Structures are given as structure tokens and as C-alpha cells.
Amino acid sequence: MKVSRHAKIIELINQYDIGTQEELAERLNQAGFRVTQATVSRDIRDMKLMKMSVDGKRQKYVILKSEEEGISEKYIRVLRDGYISMDMAQNILVIKTVSGMAMAVAAALDAMKWKEVVGCIAGDDTIMCAVRSVEETMAVMEKIRKIISKK
């Protein structure tokens, strides 16, 4: 539950300018996660979220990039925890995940900002990932294999 909640937090702070713990808790509750302000406070600390100025007046939560090719350990953990298998159909990469984890894994893949990946669409346990070319699809599969194999 914590991993999928962290993935949802990543998705929410990338989508909205969230500046308070209360606002984040409200958005998580709307998304089906039953959280308290104390839980959100721990998540913010665990994820090492920082506040950044939006317009000189408001602040919003942001994720600090890790040193390893800009890939955060949080994204890697979400990918490892949710991943089951993958296959390609031309430039479409189809990734199977643990039931209920596809959206979290897709959000993690999108957050990695790989130049080869155009975007991901997730269901409950399947992700369709549009990649720029067949060759780049194979390269993305290799990147994922490397991440998965370092468990």
C-alpha cells in the first residue's frame, strides 16, 4: 500500500501545484487512499520531498532527482515491486504488473523521463508504453531488465 501511495503522491505533485500536507492528504483521499495528515507528513519525509517557489508567492512540493541517471530509488522500487513481465509489439511495449499496480508502475516509468518513451497508458495490471521506434523499444526493455535484475 505504501509503495502505491508513494507512486500516487509522485503523480499528484507532478500534476498539481500542491503546497500543503492537508491539500496532499485531500487529493490522496479523493484518489481512494485513506490517509491522515500524520501519514502524509511521514510520506513527505520518507520521500524527501522539498518545497519550491511557484510564482514567488506560493510553494509546491517537488521531488529531488537522484544522482543515478536522474532515476529516483522510489521509482526503481515501484518498478521492481510491480513488474511481472514485458513483451513488445513493434514500438509498443506491453508490461504486465501485479494486480492494481499498473498505474503506479506507469507513473514511475513516466517520471524516469526516458527520451525513448512517448508515454504510458495503464489499466489494472497492464501498461501500454508507446516508444519512438522498434530499436528504442528493445533499448527500453534492456533498461527495465537491468533495473529488475538488481534486486
Confidence at 106, pLDDT banded by 50, 70, 90: very high
% pLDDT > 70, the chain? 94
Confidence at 1, pLDDT banded by 50, 70, 90: confident
Say yes or no: domain 73-149 is CATH 3.30.1360.40: yes
Q: Are 65 and 49 in contact (CB under 8 A)?
A: no
- The CATH number that domain 2-63 falls under is 1.10.10.10
Give CA–CA dist 118/114, Å, rounded: 8
% pLDDT > 90, the chain? 60
Residue ranges per domain, the chain? Answer: 2-63, 73-149
Q: Which residue has the cell 514511475?
A: 108
Task: Summarize pLDDT for 32-80 with one digit per residue, the tens.
Answer: 999 999 999 999 988 888 888 777 778 888 876 544 444 577 788 889 9
Q: Which residues of 8-38 are buried (b: 16+ CB within 10 A; e: fewer)?
A: bbbbbbeeeebbebebbbebbeeeebebeee
Give CA–CA dist 81/134, Å, rounded: 26
Give CA–CA dist 34/129, Å, rounded: 29
* Parallel, antiparallel or unpaired: strands 59-63 and 49-53: antiparallel
